[in-house]
Structures are given as C-alpha cells and as structure tokens.
Structure 1
Amino acid sequence: MIKIKRDHLMNNEVIELVSSHLQGMNLHSPPESIHALNIENLKQRDITFWSVWEDSQLAGCGALKELDEHHGEIKSMRTATAHLRKGIAKELLQYIINEAQKRGYRRLSLETGSASAFEPARKLYTSFGFYECEPFSTYKEDPYSVFMTKKLND
C-alpha cells in the first residue's frame, strides 16, 4: 500500500534519495542548467515536501513550491530505483495537483531536462495535461531545460 506524507527532510533515506536526485541531474545537465534543490533549499517556507512510502520502503518524493497565490511549481519529483514503473510518480503527481487545486492555484508549472534521460518524466507530465511553455518565474531560456505548465480548475 502506498502512503504519501508530508516530510521534514530529517530521515536519512529521504536525504539519500534527494542526493541521488541531484547526482542524476549532474549526469545529464551542465551545472548552470540544474535547477533541482538541495536539502536546505527544500526546507524553505514556500515549499511543501512529501515522501512516498510503499509499506516501510521509501518509494519516492516530490515538492510543491508556491510562486505566488495563484501559481505553484513542482520540484524534486523522484521515484526510488527499486520502485520504478509501479505507478508511484503518477500517484504523487496527482496528489500534488490535488494539493495545488486545494490551495486555489490557477496554474501549476515545472522545469525538467531536455535530454533523453528526462523523456519518461516529460511523457508523464504530458499525460496529466501539462504542455510546454515559456520560462516562468526566475527561469531563463535554456537548451537543457523544458518548461511545462497546466491550467487548473478554479
């Protein structure tokens, strides 16, 4: 059974998963094009972080950053390797979309990589109604980034 819970980034397993996420970004993007957040940045007040558990095993994580009262950004979506292709990312993405709607956001956006390694993520987001857009918030045009957004129901 999958359980999604708000996480305060104190658990070593969660810290290792976030570190693994950052290492993965370093493999596929130059340093100036990596927008993934480290542990300290994920603890900022405008970010809510969740961990996903399958029984007692850490299965994934993800976060929602408030850009303004009507716009949120998905951050640090990651599925643990042992839990790939089990629907963890789909369940967490739906959870984050639901949370954004509860908060009254009108739009939910994200930045992901343009390399082929990020294609499964881009396909997942597209399947949930996200589409490519211009850079948002403080992002700049970057050949290593793909910006996506989804309008939410009022």
Structure 2
Amino acid sequence: MTVAIAIESPLQDDVRTMVAALNAHMIPLTPREFQFQLTVEQMAEPAVTLFVARGPDGRPVGMGALKDHGDGIGEVKRMFTLPEVRGQRVGSQLLQSIEALARDKGVTRLVLETGEAAGFEPAYRVYERGGFEVCGAVLDYPDSGYSRFYEKKLA
C-alpha cells in the first residue's frame, strides 16, 4: 500500500481515534496492569516523536513512535496499523522511519516491549523482519511473562 509517513502531533482527532482503536485491540489481550500504553498527551511530550502513516485519501492507517530515553537508548512505542492494511508493509515502513530518526538522534540501541500472548504474532513478524531480536526485560518494565522484549543495536 502506498502511504505517506510524516511526523505529526498526536493531539489530533483522527490520531486520537486510532489510539482508541489500538487500546481497544490491546485491552483484551493482556491484563491491564501489564499494559504500558502512552496516552496522546504523553505522546506529545518532547522526548516522543510520533509518525503517522496516511493512505491516499489522507486517512491515518498506522502509527508508531520513538521515545528517546537518553544515553543512546530509544524505544519503539504505540506501533499500530488498522486491520484493513495489515500485511501491506505499513508497519515495516513505520518501523524504518522510527529507526532512521533514532540513528539521526544518535541512538545506539533501539528497544521495545510488546505483549506475549496469542494475537501478537503479526507484531513479532514486523519486528523480526526489521532486524530486532528477542532479549531480556528492558528499561523499567517488569519481567512478568506478559511481555516480550526486543532490541536492535544501531551502532
């Protein structure tokens, strides 16, 4: 699918709608205490850069964010594509955009946390095709058994 990917503010109604769709998708998959979702307000903080993928009609069809933790560590957050565009490489394009910005910012290790349950397999494929490898718990996430962690060394 041909999409336009750009850095955008999360404080837009159509992005808020997509975040709500992501949350609705995630809530049944993992116990709430093991979900680490950024709100749109947290996504608007200076350390976070949001990429939005828009289809030919201008409608958002995917998103993903880079959170800069400093000390060369960046985190992929809020990766999501609408169900109707899954399998069309939109997630891969978003991940490439996040990685390119991370490299520009001097990030040497890109990490992420995702769920460890049925329903997350498409996400695993995107990350593994993007060169990420499963690793131990990252940052301050608990090693609960409900999360799978990935990393990619950029240096």
Q: How does 1:102-113 map to 2 (within 5 A)?
A: 102-113=104-115
CA distance in 1, matches of 2:38, 2:25: 12
TM-score of the pair, normalised by structure 2 = 0.93
Structure in which a larger fraction of residues adopt helix: 1
SS of structure 1 residue aligned to 2:74: strand
Read off the aligned partner of 1:28 and give its amino acid letter. L
**Identity value in percent:** 31
CA distance in 1, matches of 2:9, 2:84: 23
Q: How does 1:23-62 map to 2 (within 5 A)?
A: 23-55=24-56, 56-62=58-64
What's the offset of the Cα at 1:57? 2.1
Mapped contact 2:67–2:74 kept (Cα < 8 A): yes
Mapped contact 1:59–1:83 kept (Cα < 8 A): yes
What's the offset of the Cα at 1:69? 3.4
Gaps of 5+ in 2: none
Alignment match, 1:66: 68
What's the offset of the Cα at 1:117? 0.4
Q: Of the candidates 113, 119, 122, which is equivalent to residue 121 of structure 2?
A: 119
Number of aligned residue pairs: give it.
153
What's the offset of the Cα at 1:40? 1.5
TM-superposition CA deviations, 1:81-134 (whole Å, max 9, x none): 222221100111111111111111110000000012001101211111111112
CA distance in 2, matches of 1:129, 1:138: 23
CA distance in 1, matches of 2:128, 2:83: 22
Mapped contact 1:53–1:60 kept (Cα < 8 A): yes
TM-superposition CA deviations, 1:54-97 (whole Å, max 9, x none): 11121101100011130100000000122222110011111111
Read off the aligned partner of 2:25 and give its amino acid letter. G
TM-score of the pair, normalised by structure 1 = 0.94
